[in-house]
């Protein structure tokens, strides 16, 4: 493709209108740069599953809470319980050895910050920095045993009924048996109707260390979506995917989502209770 063609494609992409801002995240692995509106809240109850030939992990019940605490800044917390089930396959020893365990695993705290808001030509750009807190029992495989961090940058653009998210980051894991790794993804979501949204993503991560199920890099393709109930602030989230390159890996997510908050003016129509982000996840 010529330089002229690339410029034309970029112009078409960014000039299709600054539309009603939506957000992404759960049930997908690719996140977004759109914080919760000021004085609004989100709550998720969910379960997720992931696994490689080394180990199968199931998280649930898990609880996520997001708070629009400051303009363009969202505070975030997840409290998860998990099952870890090593394969005890001789081909993956010592990584995949040990008994099956269940219990509280590492909690997550984070802050989503919008650096640049979406305009007609520019996508929204922000970060969702996270701190993984060692609340789980690392001796049982229910956590890392030390605090670790994620430093991503995410972009988002709305184009008619389409929403595009992309970006990536770097995880810093200062623990024996673990390693720092990069990750990133691209998501395309389409609004099928007032009740249904469907999307697909490509998500990749590097090798995460010999003490993890992700001992080698992997690239996954995931499919999922959202079902909006009669109350527009209540949704069912679902997703499933598997690897297409690298180490064999599966990913699944199912959850319920609620959002609420205070507006300065009453909603103008059903589904706009939360103003410009009333269709969250329309938020991860």
pLDDT range class, residue 132, cuts 50, 70, 90 = very high
The predicted model gives 239-246 an average pLDDT of 98
CA-based torsion, 27, 31, 32, 35: positive or negative: positive
Tokens of 98: 């040990």
Nearest to 76 by CA among 26, 106, 112: 112
b/e code 128-139 from CB counts within 10 Å (16+ = b): bbbebbbebebe
| Lowest model confidence (mean pLDDT) among 12-26, 35-49, 102-116, 120-134 | 12-26
- CA 62 to CA 108: how far, in whole Å? 11
- CA 87 to CA 281: how far, in whole Å? 34
**CATH (residue range 24-277):** 2.40.160.40
Residues 21-48 pLDDT 10s: 345 689 999 999 999 999 999 999 999 9
- CA count, 13 A, side-chain hemisphere, 85: 10
Residues 64-83 pLDDT 10s: 999 999 999 999 999 999 99
Question: By the 8 A CB rule, do 99 and 83 touch?
Answer: no
pLDDT of residue 22: 47
Residues 6+ apart with CB under 8 A from 74: 35, 36, 66, 67, 68, 111, 112, 113
- CA 101 to CA 82: how far, in whole Å? 8
Please report, for the chain, the start and end positions of each structural domain, with discontinuous segments joined by +.
24-277
Share of the chain above pLDDT 90, in %: 79
Question: By the 8 A CB rule, do 153 and 114 touch?
Answer: no
Give the number of other CB atoms < 10 A from CB of residue 40.
23
Question: By the 8 A CB rule, do 35 and 113 touch?
Answer: yes
Share of the chain above pLDDT 70, in %: 84
Question: By the 8 A CB rule, do 242 and 283 touch?
Answer: no
- CA 125 to CA 9: how far, in whole Å? 20
Residues 253-281 pLDDT 10s: 999 999 999 865 444 333 333 333 333 43
Q: What angle do CA 253, 37, 25 make, to 5 degrees?
A: 20
Looking up tokens 């959002």 gives 259
């Amino acid at each position: 493709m010529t330089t002229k063609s690339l410029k034309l494609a970029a112009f078409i992409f960014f000039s299709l209108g600054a539309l009603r801002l939506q957000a992404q995240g759960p049930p997908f692995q690719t996140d977004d740069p759109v914080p919760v509106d000021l004085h609004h809240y989100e709550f998720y109850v969910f379960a997720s599953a992931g696994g490689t030939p080394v180990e199968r992990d199931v998280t649930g019940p898990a609880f996520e809470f997001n708070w629009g605490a400051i303009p363009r800044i969202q505070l975030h917390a997840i409290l998860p319980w998990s099952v870890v089930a090593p394969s005890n396959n001789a081909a993956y020893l010592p990584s995949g050895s040990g008994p099956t365990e269940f219990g509280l695993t590492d909690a997550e705290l984070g802050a989503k910050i919008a650096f640049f808001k979406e305009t007609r030509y520019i996508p929204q750009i922000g970060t969702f920095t996270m701190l993984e807190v060692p609340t789980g029992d690392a001796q049982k495989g229910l956590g890392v045993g030390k605090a670790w961090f994620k430093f991503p940058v995410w972009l988002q653009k709305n184009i008619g009924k389409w929403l595009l998210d992309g970006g990536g980051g770097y995880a810093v894991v200062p623990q024996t048996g673990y390693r720092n790794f990069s990750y990133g993804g691209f998501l395309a979501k389409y609004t099928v109707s007032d009740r249904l949204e469907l999307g697909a993503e490509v998500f990749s991560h590097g090798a995460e260390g010999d003490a993890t199920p992700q001992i080698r890099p992997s690239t996954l393709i995931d499919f999922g979506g959202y079902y909006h109930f009669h109350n527009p602030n209540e949704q069912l989230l679902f997703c499933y995917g598997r690897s297409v390159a690298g180490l064999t890996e599966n990913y699944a997510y199912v959850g319920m989502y609620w959002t609420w908050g205070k507006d300065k003016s009453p909603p103008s129509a059903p589904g706009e209770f939360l103003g410009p982000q009333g269709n969250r996840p329309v938020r991860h």
